[in-house]
Structure 1
């Protein structure tokens, strides 16, 4: 049984695609067969993030009925599968949503988890794709406008009987003026299930065209993504504990209290 999770946001620029890709890699690192579908059909970013903006077969070919979804599926070095969309203006002009049902039928059974990186906002395209999700994750930043726009997305999900798993608070700097977790939960009415700290490692990994979790696995943000992924599959993330135990053992070795 394939689990479809849509990653959505009320506005652009909150880090939705970065979250989709890194959550996918984190799930793969936990042994889950995972794919990321670029559901942003007008301004797709998944291929750009991974340094493969132009591929011979894309999601648009599947939607036009020329290729199967298997033909449009590619593997990253991390083991994550991606189904990228076409970035060309030509593909945008020919965009049709009539084959969405066949697309998602074709995806069933191909992976344990399919993460749908939806477009920002609540356009017709976004809503059409979101309806095929079993659950949604809301990505937002700790600022008033981002959180307010997220409320509208949740409302659409509720109208379509889609479960909201929770809020991912991204690019958290811990500075004065940011909304706290309590503020965000009170405004949205759903729990914050992940907080991703702001770090330059995200920019560096993007420039290297690799997911953060793959390129900088020990980054604070990577650890946060792994913790989030663990929670989604009902496991405890023990990386922090293991690192502390390892450090303690090394100290004991140095002072001669352990062999």
Structure 2
């Protein structure tokens, strides 16, 4: 009779691969705290990214593999995750209360970048992460509307930093909270860049695993400020399949590459349209554009979203798809995308996140 050992358990689990990293759980160091008591085996699987959506599936795989070992009578599996802070490429100081900053960008407007940002933030939260959103579109802030929090104003914390506004469990800050809907931001570039830095560093972010920055379109002042002065750990590019959008999306990829910010992948919006009357599927804006960009720049097509009326309606109503229809196919696509880029980020290497104390005035 073969004795039941920790090595035998690890050997059995070496055949199970992480669904997003392609490596086995043992090689990734995800198998921890193996306890053997007679015929009972208890163990923990600790991933580097939030994964509530695959928790049950992975638990069943691990249970089945261990249960087949000779001498095993009972198996207890605990699936969890520990999200580490990653080192930004520009060596800027970490933002207090924030482990990882992800820039969500596009080369041009109208491709659904803000809708994607909000749904990905909500998807990460649904997967088990603490998440925030910084609305960096100073001229046209839309995050307050999409998170359904209206015209709230942030409170001032003890050491004179703003408390983020929370919607659906996601922390957020936006110029939309600081001015009225009728107030135009008639600012030159340096003022806009300064506002971005203030909102980032003078907000009391509360233990975030991920802060998603909803970038304005283009490659101008805000993008340059972000690259030079903000500790960005990764970026996600949003595009549509049409050639004009792809041309501008490529510029966005090139910008991040030039400043050494990793591009974690591409999200393709409006990939297909399915007729609500007859069910016919059609590629209205072209086909395969996001995949081509991903291949050209050695990154990943994280996922494709359809041209679907509900995505727009839900966002406009302040109940994005991930919370309005959490079990629907669109929400599941966003959650799959979130797991993919979070998994990519977790293999970049972790550091201790420390940052300076921030003080601001009331005005």
How does 1:92-171 map onto structure 2 within 5 Å?
92-93=185-186, 95-98=191-194, 100-101=196-197, 103-105=199-201, 110-131=207-228, 132=230, 133-171=232-270
Give deviations 1:194-228, integer Å, cap 9, x for gaps.
21222222123124211210011122221110101
Q: Which runs of 5+ in 2 are unaligned?
A: 1-84, 86-98, 273-280, 345-363
Going from structure 1 to structure 2, the CA distance change for 1:40 and 1:102 (only over 3 Å counts) comes to closer
TM-score normalised to the size of structure 2? 0.56
Going from structure 1 to structure 2, the CA distance change for 1:109 and 1:121 (only over 3 Å counts) comes to same
* Bigger Rg over Cα: 2
Partner of 1:83: 173
d(CA) in 1 for partners of 2:154 and 2:184? 12
Partner of 1:249: none
Using the TM superposition, name which of 109-118 and 171-180 deviates more: 171-180
Q: Which runs of 5+ in 1 are unaligned?
A: 236-259
d(CA) in 1 for partners of 2:291 and 2:340? 19
Give deviations 1:154-211, integer Å, cap 9, x for gaps.
1211221111111111121152461215434345553211212222221231242112
Using the TM superposition, name which of 17-26 and 131-140 deviates more: 131-140
TM-score normalised to the size of structure 1? 0.77
1:127 deviation in Å? 2.7
The answer (yes or no) to whether the contact 1:199–1:221 under 8 Å persists in 2 is no
1:103 deviation in Å? 4.8
Identify the match of residue 221 of structure 1 among 325, 330, 343: 330
d(CA) in 1 for partners of 2:247 and 2:297? 8
Using the TM superposition, name which of 157-166 and 94-103 deviates more: 94-103
The answer (yes or no) to whether the contact 2:271–2:287 under 8 Å persists in 1 is no
Partner of 1:175: 282
1:93 deviation in Å? 3.6
Using the TM superposition, name which of 159-168 and 189-198 deviates more: 189-198
d(CA) in 1 for partners of 2:135 and 2:215? 7
Partner of 2:19: none
Partner of 2:165: 74
The answer (yes or no) to whether the contact 2:236–2:264 under 8 Å persists in 1 is yes
SS of corresponding position for 1:98: helix
d(CA) in 2 for partners of 1:176 and 1:45? 28
Provide the aligned C-alpha RMSD in A: 2.8
